[in-house]
């Protein structure tokens, strides 16, 4: 299925690789102008933007650490100034820091909250200043908000569960403006951080109804749906796309 985003401006956090890059490519392919942030490799981010622009789309890469509230809000304000508005915000940036509850460092715990929760609120607040009637906010959560079947993931699961409550409250706040707020909860997805061929991946497959990793493009497809006109009546929802991991 294809959607029409011509004339729309999208902002994606953590958009240079993996799920984020698939979302950037999908929204741009459907006609949106896309700004996206990256933290690390400028080369990877610039190559993604250049490829989209070379194929007739429009994209820019902006270096900004999602954990830095000033930098993140500044990146969104800069993109809105350049393109005139923000219609679609995808909060994709996240960290996965694992450790037992009795030994995980407070620094890792705080970073988990800063990037996985606080940055979502910071980016949403910044984007809302430039978002009109009918805008879209889409967060990338995790199936681990519903099921954490291995040790060491308490802080990560908590951070993703926090998004479930956040979207419900924000959906109430923004409903009068026709702005929808939703949460996409992927299961294992084949990226460089979680390749489907690893020994860890094989263990995950044993927990799933569909014993395979998802593909980044599959997650991007659900995001595209939530960003589209067809999803105008969907808000405050947390939607699993996890191959039955939480079933």
Q: Looking at residue 1, what is its pLDDT? A: 67
Q: Pick the catalytic residue: 3, 38, 156, 225?
A: 156
User: Tell me: the pLDDT tens digits for 153-175?
Assistant: 999 999 999 999 999 999 999 99
Is the pLDDT confidence value at 204 over 70? yes
Mean of per-residue pLDDT scores for the chain: 97
| Class of 9-241 in CATH | alpha beta
Instruction: Quote the CA–CA distance of 239 and 217 in Å, as a whole number.
Output: 16
DSSP annotation string for the chain: -----TT-EEEEET-SSHHHHHHHHHHHHTT-EEEEEESS-HHHHHHHHHHHHHTT-EEEEEE--TT-HHHHHHHHHHHHHHHS---EEEE---------TTT--HHHHHHHHIIIIIHHHHHHHHHHTT--TT-EEEEE--GGGT---STT-HHHHHHHHHHHHHHHHHHHHHGGGT-EEEEEEE-SB-BTTB-TTSHHHHHHHTT-SS-S-B-HHHHHHHHHHHHSGGGTT--S-EEEESTTTT-
Instruction: Quote the CA–CA distance of 205 and 199 in Å, as a whole number.
Output: 10
pLDDT more than 70, % of the chain: 100
- Joined together, the tokens standing for residue 238 give 């947390």
User: Tell me: the pLDDT tens digits for 49-100?
Assistant: 999 999 999 999 999 999 999 999 999 999 999 999 999 999 999 999 999 9
Q: Looking at residue 206, what is its pLDDT? A: 93
* Model confidence, pTM: 0.97
Phi then psi for 30, rounded to 5 degrees? -85, 5
225 a catalytic residue: no
Overall average pLDDT of the 198-205 stretch: 90
């Amino acid at each position: 299925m294809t959607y029409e985003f011509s004339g729309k401006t999208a902002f994606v956090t953590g958009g240079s690789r993996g799920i984020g890059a698939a979302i950037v490519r999908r929204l741009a392919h459907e006609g949106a102008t896309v700004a996206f942030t990256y933290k690390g490799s400028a080369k990877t981010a610039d190559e993604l933007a250049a490829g989209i622009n070379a194929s007739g789309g429009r994209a820019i890469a902006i270096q900004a650490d999602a954990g830095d509230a000033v930098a993140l809000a500044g990146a969104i304000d800069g993109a809105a100034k350049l393109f005139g508005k923000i219609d679609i915000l995808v909060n994709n940036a996240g960290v996965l820091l694992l450790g037992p509850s009795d030994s995980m460092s407070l620094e890792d715990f705080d970073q988990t909250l800063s990037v996985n929760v606080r940055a979502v609120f910071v980016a949403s607040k910044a984007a809302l200043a430039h978002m009109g009637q009918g805008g879209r906010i889409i967060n990338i959560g995790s199936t681990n908000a519903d099921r954490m079947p291995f040790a060491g993931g308490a802080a990560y699961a908590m951070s993703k569960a926090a998004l479930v409550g956040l979207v419900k409250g924000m959906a109430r706040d923004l409903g009068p403006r026709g702005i929808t707020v939703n949460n996409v909860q992927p299961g294992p997805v084949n990226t460089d951080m979680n390749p489907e061929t690893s020994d860890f991946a094989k263990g995950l497959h044993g927990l799933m109804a569909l014993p395979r990793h998802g593909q980044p493009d599959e997650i991007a497809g659900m995001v595209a749906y939530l960003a589209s006109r067809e999803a105008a009546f969907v808000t405050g929802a947390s939607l699993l796309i996890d191959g039955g991991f939480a079933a």
